Chain A
C-alpha cells in the first residue's frame, strides 16, 4: 500500500512517454469512432488490430488495446441518445430516457450528462483499481453460483417493470427475454435448445443482434411510418446543449449510485458493463420518488446507467490485471495480446511487470481526460447529425448495423437475425409492448439459470444454499421485500380506489338527506 503512490508516479512516467502517449491516443480515438458506429464490435476491432501490436513494445500495445475498449464506451451512448440506436449493448438502457430527451430537444443535455457520468464513473473505477484492487479481488471470490444467482434474480425482479407503460406487459416482455435466452447449447447437458438445427444458434442468439434489432431496427421501422419528411433539427435549440445547474443537481446522486453498482458488478465474473447498466437503471427507478418520469426523459435514467457502464468498464480491468481472470470476451482478448507479447498475466503481473500494470492505470487517467477533451466539443457536432434528413440517415444507419453485425462472427446469419428481430420488435412496438425488458431477461436469464443449477449441483440439491451465505441471503431478502412491497402497494391502491368509489354514493346520500 505504501508503494502505491511511487508506483503510480512511475506509471505516469511510463504512460506519458511520447511513444506510449501516442498509442494511447490512437487507441482511444479508434475506440471513440468505433463506439459511434452501430454494431461495430470492440471485439472485431481489437482482433483486426491485434496483428499490428505484434511489432510494438508490450506497454504501447496494451495501452492502445485498452484505449479502444474504454474509448468505445464514450462513443457508445451517442447513437443511443440521439437515434435510439444502441451501438453497444451496454448502452441500450440509455435509450430508454436518452431518446425521449432528444425528442424533447434536450439531446445535447443528455450527452453532456453522459460525459460527466462517464468521467466520474471511470475515475472511480480507476481509483478502485489503484487503492483497493487486492481487497476487491477477495470480495470477488466470495461471489459463487448461489450469490450470482440471487443477484440476477433480484435484477430481474427489480427490472421487470423497467420500461414505461403497463407492468403486466413489462413482465410479459421479460419472460420473452428469458425464453430467448434459453436458445443455444445448454451448459449442463450439452443439449441444443430451440436451435431448429441451425448451427449458428448453438451459441445462442447474438446479444448485439437483440440490442440492435429491438431498439434500432424496430424504431426505424416505426419512424418510417410516422415521420413523413424532415428531421429532428427543429427540436434542437442551441442553449440546450449544456446541462443547467438544476440538471446537474438531478444527475449527481444517480451518477454516484450508478458508479457504485457498476464497480461492484464488474468484480463478479461474467457480470460486465451491460448487466451493470441494467441493474443501475432498475435500482434508480426503484429508489426514485417519481418513477413515473422514467422513460419520458428522466435525467437520472441517463446518468445512472452511463456512470455504471463506465465504472464497470474500468473496474473490469481489476480481476483481469490483478488475477489474470478475464471478466468478458474483450478482456480475454486483451490478455491474449499480453501473452503474445510474452507477458504471462496473473497475480504476479503487478510485481513482475510494474511497467505494464501501473503504466496501464496511469494511461486510464490520460486516456479518459483525452476522451473528455475530444468529446465535449463534439457534442454540438453530434447533435447536428439530427439535421441530416431521415431518408438519408436511416438507410446509412441500417447499412452500418448490417456491417457491424456481420463483423461480430463473419456470418450473414447475424444480419438476418438482426433484421428478423427488428421486424418482430416493430410488431411489439405497434402493440404497445416496450422491448427493453426483453433485453433485460435475455441478459440476466442465462446467468440466472446457469448459476441456479450450478449452485444446486454443488449443494447436492439443497435449496438452503441460497440463504446460507450472508451475501445471497441479503439478495433474497431484498427480492422478497421488493415483491411483498409491490403487492402491498398494489392492494392499498385498489383499496383506496374502492374506498373513494364507496365514498361517492355516501356523499350523494348525505346530500340528499340535507
Chain B
C-alpha cells in the first residue's frame, strides 16, 4: 500500500513539477488584503491587480480578510498551498510591528513567507491644527517645551502611534496619546482642534491641507516627497535619520517555486512602470518603489526587525 502511494506521489511530482512555471497561472490568482475594502492598501492592491491581471492572462481576485492588524490574513496565506495562486498584500504591520504587538504570533513573517514584489510606500504627513502657532517642526518642539502637557496627538493606526511615540522620544517633547479606531474620527478631532497633531498618510489628509483645515509641517520619509518638494522632512529638521513610512508588498507562502516568484516580480514591476499606474498610485499617496524579489526579501526582513524595535521603544505592550 505504502509503495503504491509512494509511486502515485512520484508520478504526481513528475506530472506537475516541471510544468508549474511554464503554464502559471492557469487559473485566477487570489490576493488577500488584510485591511477593509476601500482602505489605502486595498485600493492600491486593486489598482495593481487591475493591470496585473491582463499581463498574467488571468484575473486577480482581491479578497479582504480583516482583523487582528493583519494577523488573520497573514496566517491564512502562510498556511496556503505554496503554488503562487494565493498571495498576501503584506505591510509594515504584517511584516513589521505585529512581531512586537503579539506575544504569540500565529505566523512567522520571515520563515513562512517569500517576498515577491514591493508595491509602494505610503508617505505620511505630520499635520497640526492650523489655529496653533506652529508652522514648522521647530515651532512644534518649541511650543511643546514652552507649554508642557498641552500637546496631544491622535493615533489612527499602530503605524501612526509608533511614529508619534518615536518622534516624542527623539525630540523630548511630551505628547499625550489619544488613540482612535481609524483615521476618519481621529482627523475630525484634529480639524476641530480637540487634538493638536497627528501623523497620517498623505491621501487621507491632503484635501484638508489644501483646504486649510489642517497644516502639514513635515513628511516622515528620509527624503522629501517628489509630489510635495516644498515640505521638509523630519530628518532634515529635527530628528536626523527619522525615516518611517508604511509600505505594501506582495508575499507568497514559503516554498513557492522560485520561477513563479520571479515571474510575478517581473510582471508586477512592469505594471509599476506603466505611467497610468504610477499616476493612479501617486494620487493615492503611494510612491511606487519597484525592486527585485531578493532585494524585497532582505528589505522586509530588516523592516520586521526595525518595527519590532520601534514598537517596543514606544512602550506598547505585546498582547
Q: Residues of A at under 8 Å CB distance from B? A: 43, 46-47, 50-51, 54, 140-142, 144-145, 185, 187-192, 199-200, 202-203, 269-270, 324-327, 329, 332-337, 339-340, 342, 344-349, 409-411, 450, 454, 457-458, 460
Report the Cα distance A146→B170, complex, angstroms. 32
On chain A, the residues within 8 Å of B65 by CB distance are 409-411
Interface centre among B38, B179, B319 (most CB of A within 10 A): B38
Answer yes or no: B66 CB below 8 A from chain A CBs: yes
Say yes or no: A144 contacts B206, CB within 8 Å: no
Report the Cα distance A334→B36, complex, angstroms. 12
Answer yes or no: B8 CB below 8 A from chain A CBs: no
Q: Contacts A199-B72, A346-B207: A141 and B188 contacting too (C-beta < 8 A)?
A: yes
On chain B, the residues within 8 Å of A191 by CB distance are 317, 319
Q: Contacts A347-B208, A410-B63: A203 and B195 contacting too (C-beta < 8 A)?
A: no
* Partner of B319 from A140, A192, A339 at Cβ < 8 Å: A192
Say yes or no: A458 contacts B188, CB within 8 Å: no
Report the Cα distance A340→B106, complex, angstroms. 33
Say yes or no: A202 contacts B180, CB within 8 Å: no
Say yes or no: B36 contacts A332, CB within 8 Å: yes
Say yes or no: B185 contacts A269, CB within 8 Å: yes
* Per-residue A-contact encoding for B30-54, CB less than 8 Å = 1, 0 else: 0000001111001100110110000
On chain A, the residues within 8 Å of B191 by CB distance are 141
Report the Cα distance A203→B283, complex, angstroms. 30
* Per-residue A-contact encoding for B180-194, CB less than 8 Å = 1, 0 else: 110011011101101
Say yes or no: B71 contacts A199, CB within 8 Å: yes
| CB of B193 to closest CB in A, whole Å | 9
Say yes or no: A347 contacts B38, CB within 8 Å: no
On chain A, the residues within 8 Å of B39 by CB distance are 332, 336
Report the Cα distance A190→B75, complex, angstroms. 20
Say yes or no: A346 contacts B206, CB within 8 Å: yes
Q: Which residue of A lies closest to B188 (CB)?
A: A269
* Per-residue A-contact encoding for B208-229, CB less than 8 Å = 1, 0 else: 1011010000000000000000
On chain B, the residues within 8 Å of A141 by CB distance are 188, 191-192
A-B contact pairs, 9 of them (CB 8 A): A141-B192, A333-B37, A334-B38, A336-B42, A337-B38, A340-B46, A342-B280, A347-B208, A409-B64
* Partner of A51 from B50, B101, B181, B188 at Cβ < 8 Å: B50
Report the Cα distance A337→B280, complex, angstroms. 12
| CB of A45 to closest CB in B, whole Å | 10
Say yes or no: A324 contacts B207, CB within 8 Å: yes
Q: Which residue of A lies closest to B203 (CB)?
A: A339
Known: A270-B184, A348-B210, A460-B176. 4 other contacts (CB 8 A): A200-B67, A324-B207, A334-B38, A458-B152
Say yes or no: A187 contacts B181, CB within 8 Å: yes
Say yes or no: B36 contacts A188, CB within 8 Å: no
Closest 5 CB pairs of A and B: A346-B207, A333-B38, A336-B38, A202-B68, A47-B37
Say yes or no: A188 contacts B206, CB within 8 Å: no
Q: Which residue of A lies closest to B42 (CB)?
A: A336
Q: Which residue of A lies closest to B64 (CB)?
A: A47
Q: Contacts A203-B68, A269-B185, A326-B184: A339 and B46 contacting too (C-beta < 8 A)?
A: no
Answer yes or no: B316 CB below 8 A from chain A CBs: yes
On chain A, the residues within 8 Å of B64 by CB distance are 47, 409-410
Report the Cα distance A269→B188, complex, angstroms. 8
Say yes or no: B68 contacts A199, CB within 8 Å: yes
